Amino acid sequence: MTVSRFWRKIPHRYNLIGTHCTNCGEYYFPPRQMCPTCRRDGKIESYQFEGKGEVITYTVIHTAAKGYANQVPYNLAIIKLNEGPSLTGQVICEPGELEIGTRVRSVFRKLGEESEKGMIYYGTKFVVE
Amino acid sequence: MRDVAIIGTGCTKFGELWDRSLRDIFVEAGVSAIVDAGIQGEEIDGLYMGNMSSGRFVEQEHVGSLIADYSGLASKLHVPATRVEAACASGGLALRQGILAVASGYADIIVAAGGEKMTDVDLDTATDALAAAADREWEGIMGATFPGLYAMIARLHMHKYGTTSEQMAAVSVKNHHNGTMNPIAQFRNEITLDTVLQSNMVADPLHMFDCSPISDGAAAVVLAPADVAKKYTDTPVYVKATTQASSPISLHDRADITTLDASMVAGQRAYKMAGLTPDDIDLVEVHDCFTIAEICAIEDLGFFKKGDGGRASEDGETAIDSSIPVNPSGGLKACGHPVGATGIKQAVVITEQLRGTAGKSQVDGAGIGMTHNVGGSGGTAVVHIFSRDR
Ligand SMILES: [Zn+2]
């Protein structure tokens, strides 16, 4: 991913900042400029998520994505945040500790890196609560 | 709107075609389809080409013009050529654009083709190009891979419905068996449940043999108004439905992760458009990029109750001699999955089946067939229904 594409989402990635529609009450992460529920009528404002949620489903990745080879095997999960929206993220824990329904909380961690001299990505991962 | 028919088909071999280029295989498939239809270049009103990522795979964009040129259709005839992209559903969507052009009356004869050359780059680059079909900024950056996303679908399907690794492996065993009867297939060898279950884990619970391969290949069909189709061929195949649906591109944004609701909706729209039900379909080519994807597809398209797809696969209810043969070609798993070509190849397979020329994999009395082509983890789905009778 290019530097600018990563850079402009840093507040959202580092602090789990999404959006909240004050019209229908729904929360969104990643942030939306338009409310997918009310569409044109939505009134969107910034919202910082608490970062706590539950594992909906997960996998253990053995064949890594580009730039993630040194983390193999790693846990990847879909996490439903307490406020409602779901997101994809890594969960740091021992194999076997992760199950559907496991409660997790967000932590700030290194996500990956482009190459030895390339950009290092930071952002949100999760640990078992 | 006019009725539309397929009057010719062409397909290259699928596999690792290291001695062939993207333009070679596109032209080979296109020329075979034109010869099959018995038409002249002058009659062609347009080309639609499904291609997902030639920029990444062969560092070439603008493949519409490129293929028109190398097909001999650009310099004197100036035939319009349009590239269509919807990740792994690019081929199905190119077919749909071609059908819409003929149905609208804007064009008469259209060649709809699809192709991808994936083996010119190393595996890491190919995997990364495929990962671009998911949301790069919110899935890819977290370390998600394509098998990883489908593995999460599989995990939840197992949790909710008791689907097992053996049931998923049965899909792969069946598709490899069907592939042995398909002369263009990338893999033409039988495998066992153990082959699948003992292969390397790619993304738990998906093993290597739960995944479709990296492939090269191209396919093409020639479309004409149904009214004149018999002028070209004794065995035209009629388009009864062409539908498409979208869903959130990120898996985490779906209401139910075990349902590809774009497939479900595209399927329902297709049944409505054709005035048919799942019971009327004699055979189907579904998008089995992973074994769990075939299980979801046969549920989402209404052939089996939600949650029953794994058991049905294990019990042989999707075999060629069953009431709903699924992927008689060997599917993406055994036939190969050159991403942009897949949706067109599915239409070629169904056309051969409805013409009664499918050889050893022929489904007895095939009259109505369906194709189901998915982009990404389900952000796009394209469904077609074809019939031997108008
Ligand atoms: Zn709203």
Name the residue in chain B with its Cα closest to that of A7: B137
The model's pTM is 0.97
Ligand 1 centre distance from Cα of residue A35 (Å): 5
**Token digits for A13?**
């990635």
CA pair distance B244, B44, nearest whole angstrom: 25
Confidence of residue A9 (pLDDT cuts 50, 70, 90): confident
CA-closest candidate to residue B111, choices B137, B85, B138, B91: B91
Q: Which residues, in sequence order, are bridge partners of residue B314?
A: none
Q: Is A27 on the interface with B (CB under 8 A)?
A: no
Residues 160..219 of B with a Cβ closer than 8 Å to A: which? 200-206
Q: Is A6 on the interface with B (CB under 8 A)?
A: yes
Closest CB to B148 among A9, A59, A79:
A59
Total length of chain A = 129
Provide the 8-state DSSP code for B16: -
Q: Is the pLDDT of residue A1 over 70?
A: no
Specify the DSSP element, H or E, that contains B63.
helix B63-70
CA pair distance B345, B326, nearest whole angstrom: 15
Q: Is B153 on the interface with A (CB under 8 A)?
A: yes
| B200 interaction partners in chain A (CB closer than 8 Å) | 62-63
CA pair distance B95, B93, nearest whole angstrom: 5
Q: Which residues, in sequence order, are bridge partners of residue B237?
A: B6
B256-300: pLDDT as tens digits: 999 999 999 999 999 999 999 999 999 999 999 999 999 999 999
Q: B337 an active-site residue?
A: yes
How far is the CA of B9 from the CAs of B3, B59, B124, B231, B348, in angstroms?
18, 28, 33, 16, 6
Closest CB to A57 among B137, B143, B152:
B152
pLDDT of the residue at B93? 98
CA-closest candidate to residue B86, choices B95, B78, B77: B95
CA-closest candidate to residue B347, choices B2, B11, B3, B25: B11
CA pair distance B119, B389, nearest whole angstrom: 40
B163-211: pLDDT as tens digits: 999 999 999 999 999 999 999 999 999 999 999 999 999 999 999 999 9
pLDDT of the residue at A2? 66
**Token digits for B341?**
């070509």
Ligand 1 centre distance from Cα of residue A96 (Å): 39
B130-166: pLDDT as tens digits: 999 999 999 999 999 999 999 999 999 999 999 999 9
Q: Which residues, in sequence order, are bridge partners of residue A54?
A: A80, A103
Average pLDDT over residues B346-368: 98
B105 burial level (CB within 10 Å; 0-12, 13-18, 19+) = exposed
- Residue with the bigger pLDDT between A111 and B352: it is B352
| A112 interaction partners in chain B (CB closer than 8 Å) | 141, 143
Q: Which of B137, B252, B254, B296 to mutate to test binding with chain A, by most A CBs within 10 Å of its CB?
A: B252
CA-closest candidate to residue B343, choices B73, B101, B85: B85
Average pLDDT over residues B341-360: 98
CA pair distance B228, B246, nearest whole angstrom: 33
Please provide the average confidence, as pLDDT, over all residues in chain B: 97
Q: What is the ipTM of this complex?
A: 0.95
pLDDT of the residue at A42? 81
CA pair distance A93, B300, nearest whole angstrom: 34
A19-64: pLDDT as tens digits: 999 999 999 999 999 998 998 888 999 999 999 999 999 999 999 9
B34-64: pLDDT as tens digits: 999 999 999 999 999 999 999 999 999 999 9
- Residue with the bigger pLDDT between B340 and A111: it is B340
Name the residue in chain A with its Cα closest to that of B142: A89
Sign of torsion over alpha carbons B282, B286, B288, B293 = negative
Cβ count near A15 (within 10 Å): 15
Q: Is A10 on the interface with B (CB under 8 A)?
A: no
CB B71 within 8 A of CB B32: no
Q: What percent of chain B has pLDDT over 70?
A: 100
β-pairing, B283-285 vs B368-375, is parallel
CB B371 within 8 A of CB B213: no
Closest CB to A78 among B136, B140, B251:
B251
CA pair distance A46, B325, nearest whole angstrom: 51
Cβ count near A92 (within 10 Å): 16
CA pair distance B81, B49, nearest whole angstrom: 7
Phi, psi for residue A48 in degrees, rounded to 5 = -95, 120
Residues, Cβ < 5 Å to ion ligand 1: A 21, 23-24, 35, 37-38, 42
Ligand 1 centre distance from Cα of residue B86 (Å): 28
Sequence-distant (6+) residues with CB within 8 A of B19 are: none
A31 burial level (CB within 10 Å; 0-12, 13-18, 19+) = middle
Interchain contact, B143 vs A30, CB within 8 Å:
no
Residues 110..149 of B with a Cβ closer than 8 Å to A: which? 124-125, 127-128, 131, 136-145, 147-148
Q: B78 an active-site residue?
A: no
CB B138 within 8 A of CB B253: no
Interchain contact, B148 vs A65, CB within 8 Å:
yes
Q: Is A39 on the interface with B (CB under 8 A)?
A: no
Q: Is the pLDDT of residue A10 over 90?
A: no
Provide the 8-state DSSP code for B121: S
Closest CB to B252 among A66, A86, A90:
A86
Closest CB to B138 among A30, A74, A76:
A30
Rounded to a whole number of angstroms, the distance from the CA of A13 to the nearest CA of chain B is: 9
In the set B157, B207, B337, B384, the catalytic residue is B337
CB B143 within 8 A of CB A61: yes
| A6 interaction partners in chain B (CB closer than 8 Å) | 141
| A98 interaction partners in chain B (CB closer than 8 Å) | none
**Residue B67 C-alpha from the chain's centroid:** 21
Using only C-alpha atoms, chain B has a radius of gyration, in whole angstroms, of: 19
CA pair distance B59, B55, nearest whole angstrom: 4
Average pLDDT over residues B225-230: 98
pLDDT of the residue at A114? 75
Confidence of residue B341 (pLDDT cuts 50, 70, 90): very high
B137 burial level (CB within 10 Å; 0-12, 13-18, 19+) = middle
